[in-house]
Amino acid sequence: MFGLVLSGGGLRGAVHVGFLAALDEIGITPDFIVGTSAGSIAAALYASNAPGTLQLDKISSKDLICPLRHDWRLLFLPSRIFRRVLGKFFGLPMGLLSGRHLEWILAQLITTHEFHQLKIPIAVVTCDISNGNSVVFTRLNPLIIKNNVKYSSNCSVIKAVRASSSIPGIFAPIKIDGHLLVDGGVVNNCPADIARHLGATKVVAVDLGFIDKEETPPDNAIEILMQSSEIMGQRLSNFITDRYADLTLRPETGPVSLIDFGEIPRLYELGGKLAYENLRAINKVHKKKTP
CA distance 108 to 273: 27
Query: For 70, phi and psi rounded to 5 degrees?
Result: -80, 150
Q: Sorting pLDDT into bands at 50, 70 and 90, what band is 70?
A: very low
- The mean predicted confidence, pLDDT, of the chain is 82
Whether 122 contacts 47, CB under 8 Å = yes
pLDDT at 283: 95
Render pLDDT for 254-276 as a digit per residue (tens, 0 to 9).
Answer: 888 777 778 888 999 999 999 99
Render pLDDT for 130-151 as a digit per residue (tens, 0 to 9).
Answer: 999 999 999 999 999 999 999 9
Of 244, 5, 245, give the one whose Cα is nearest residue 124.
Answer: 5
